A and B are shown apart, each in its own frame.
Chain A
């Protein structure tokens, strides 16, 4: 490393620190302050550290609403990501292995899924008529419908790298189609599956708009909806509001630390012509 590269790095880090790290430090500091201290909105060291007090108070708010929200968000995320992996892999597999006139149609739908904004009120109307409006099940299927296009694209391009010889060998051994897929192909998709799981989990866990429309009502709150509701309730208790923000920020931070590589792979898919 040249001197120039070293000093450029130091300066860049200083600038990035102010712009990208300080806001998170502000969240952390405000989250542990007392109510009066936090109300000043200043970037300062807390007069007293009230980490545990604030944490328990936030959790106790509105009859432990945040715990319910974490439970709901986890259920929605786990169920919809499971289905997204299964459905995405199955569609991507047929799409890649069986070229036919239908492929163009499926591609058109995939592109539509990536581009078209969901028509919210008609969706509510349909959810109501099948009895899934305001239910976690309905929310799961919504997330599957909206996330499908991205999953299919990732799986399809990964399956293209798996040699067809494997399928042929299994066919000769007399395997049925579902056996070839579940026993032979699916286990080989692990890298792309991890990518899909991580990227979709983050986007579904962070989703605010869809629960806002399709999952109203106290008993169905999600983590993001709770944060939004607390924004109104904690007008004068910034310490608690920021404790909530801190709690919402920690799960993605943990995922980021462990799955950095998969996140990068998933989010940069398509950047390189392939």
Chain B
């Protein structure tokens, strides 16, 4: 028997596999061990679950955990709802449609740090453009980034501003794949515009919804740079999220604790995304 060599050799995969294993898989596996230690990069002392216990005991660390979940769900929900509405608007043949798509999409490509700095200036409590404009029409503007109860939501608003274009774009691609026959049939049956939206568009644009929700949830759970550019997690710890806590613990030299934060973030993403994906796949619609 002649063993024929495949024309698709596995060594093609090797260079990528080496880089990915050494710089991504190995650190991920190592993090499980180092999160159980007190660690200074040279020697690691096993301390069991002490880092995790500390994470769940310190009020500001728990605050970070809660903020992460709020941030991810708020950005994901707003982006998917408004993304779909905008996509419907921008495929309805209105004037300057192409230009509008470009305008809404451009912030996606811009530096997050640049956006963060710009908006922290626009949101300045007394001199910022937003509050000056609000007071001109008689509304006292809030301390967007200085009020601890509001800071996180102001950053969420900016994240929404920056990411809406991507959600819209994905929905536009999704809408384009729906056959016009469905709308034609619905129209003959006498469906109203609202009925068509909820009975035809929403169910059939589902693959796009899955993409938007999944991408923005993962992005939201991991988000760091916008928050870091705008508030550094402040005032106090009011806008800290897991990723900023991880960075702060790293800066302070608590490498074990920082790594435990990483593992918690990893588990949180898994606990939210995996059941959701399973649920999305089960409820597949057949039309």
Chain A residues packing against B (C-beta within 8 Å)? 1, 5-10, 12-13, 16-17, 19-21, 23, 26-27, 30, 40-43, 83, 86-88, 90-91, 93-95, 97-98, 102, 106, 109, 112-128, 130, 141-142, 144-146, 148, 152, 167, 171, 177, 180-181, 202, 206, 208-209, 212-213, 223-224, 227-228, 231, 238, 241-242, 245, 248-249, 252-253, 255-256, 260, 263-264, 267-268, 270-273
Contacts and interface: CB of A to CB of B under 8 A. Distances in A.
Contact of A116 (B34, B100, B269): B269
Given A19-B161, A241-B117, A40 B20 contact: no
A202 B266 CA distance: 26
A41 B133 CA distance: 12
Interface stretch (B59-67, B122-130, B140-148, B185-193): B122-130
B71 interface: no
Interface residues of B, number: 91
B28 A224 contact: no
Nearest to B263: A119
B95 A10 contact: yes
Contacts, number: 262
B128 A98 contact: no
**Most chain B CB atoms below 10 A, which of A208, A263, A271:** A271
A123 B27 contact: yes
Contacts of B1: none
Chain B interface main SS type = helix
B110 A249 contact: yes
B24 A145 contact: yes
B114 interface: yes
Interface stretch (B2-10, B73-81, B194-202): B2-10
A88 B17 CA distance: 11
Contact of B19 (A106, A144, A181, A228): A144
Contacts of B92: 5, 8
A77 B45 CA distance: 38
**Most chain A CB atoms below 10 A, which of B94, B102, B269:** B94
B16 A87 contact: yes
B75 to A, nearest CB: 16
Interface in B240-287: 243, 246-247, 250, 255, 258-259, 262-263, 265-266, 269-270, 273
B246 A272 contact: no
A13 B222 CA distance: 33
